[in-house]
């Protein structure tokens, strides 16, 4: 019976970790240059700590982030019990600055002063991948993606034979108020929560009864064509301009 209880407890702990988003692992990390294999070994060696009743009863909180251990998709946090927690994300949460250091991505959109693109727009604040969206749909292009010397410009052309309407962009930033600094004992899920990582723009009624939405998260852009009413045709044409890139036509 005791063995069965221990197995059930282990399964519950495993389920909690599998369901957690972002994925968070805890280990007794000592050196900053630990390899992934070392982290796994430490997690296995310290697994009994997670089952210690006295440890579970004690309130564990975050002391701070160990920024030297950052990767593009990971944050590492120092805990009050001497362990480290690793939060892993599906999208990029950091970018490399000019000094080679990982910095937090800020995809909040603000008015862009970049005049070489040929259209007025809003651009994400801090990211190595710079994305600019046009303020008006009748600009030369709807958006531009720039990574170093490489750029992609995309414009809305036609739905069938119908040209797009002239509409203004609607910006939705996903920034949240910082509350971490106001608490002396920050919980792990609060510390791992991301601010300013995602933003969205929508061109409502770009074509009659059709909205065009772009979601910027990390270094990726997702395009949503939202059809609000049944139509005779669902064919949409976009223009493409490339800088220092060569398009390749694939079979699919």
For the question of whether the overall pTM of this predicted structure is more than 0.85, the answer is: no
> What's the pLDDT at 175?
65
Handedness of CA 130, 134, 139, 142 (dihedral sign): positive
Q: Are strands 170-173 and 106-111 parallel, antiparallel or unpaired?
A: unpaired
Please tell me the distance from the alpha carbon of residue 244 to that of residue 136, in angstroms, as a whole number.
Answer: 26
Please tell me the distance from the alpha carbon of residue 242 to that of residue 204, in angstroms, as a whole number.
Answer: 26
CB 94 within 8 A of CB 79: no
Q: Which residues of the chain have pLDDT under 50?
A: 2-20, 29-55, 57, 177, 179-180
CB 132 within 8 A of CB 114: yes
Please tell me the distance from the alpha carbon of residue 226 to that of residue 53, in angstroms, as a whole number.
Answer: 51
> What's the pLDDT at 35?
44
Phi, psi for 248 (deg, rounded to 5): -125, 125
Question: By 3-state DSSP, what share of the chain in percent is helix, strand and coil, each rounded to 5?
Answer: 20, 40, 40
> What's the pLDDT at 183?
56
Helix, strand or coil, per DSSP, at residue 44: helix
């Amino acid at each position: 019976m005791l063995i069965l209880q221990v197995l059930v407890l282990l399964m519950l702990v495993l389920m909690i970790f599998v369901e957690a988003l972002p994925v968070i692992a805890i280990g007794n990390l000592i050196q900053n240059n630990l390899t992934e294999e070392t982290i796994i070994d430490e997690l296995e060696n310290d697994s009994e700590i997670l089952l210690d009743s006295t440890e579970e009863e004690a309130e564990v909180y975050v002391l701070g982030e160990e920024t030297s251990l950052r990767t593009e998709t990971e944050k590492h946090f120092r805990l009050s019990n001497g362990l480290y927690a690793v939060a892993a994300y599906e999208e990029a949460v950091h970018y490399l600055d000019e000094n080679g250091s990982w910095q937090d991505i800020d995809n909040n959109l603000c008015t862009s002063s970049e005049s070489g693109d040929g259209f007025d727009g809003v651009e994400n604040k801090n990211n190595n991948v710079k994305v600019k969206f046009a303020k008006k749909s009748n600009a030369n292009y709807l958006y531009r993606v720039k990574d170093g010397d490489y750029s992609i410009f995309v414009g809305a052309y036609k739905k069938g034979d119908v040209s797009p309407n002239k509409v203004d962009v609607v910006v939705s930033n996903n920034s949240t108020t910082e509350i971490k600094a106001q608490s002396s004992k920050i919980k792990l899920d609060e510390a791992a929560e991301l601010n300013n990582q995602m933003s969205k723009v929508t061109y409502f009624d770009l074509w009659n009864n059709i909205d065009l939405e772009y979601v910027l998260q990390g270094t990726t852009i997702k395009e949503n064509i939202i059809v609000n009413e049944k139509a005779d045709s669902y064919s949409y044409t976009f223009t493409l301009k490339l800088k220092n890139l060569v398009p390749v036509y694939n079979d699919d």
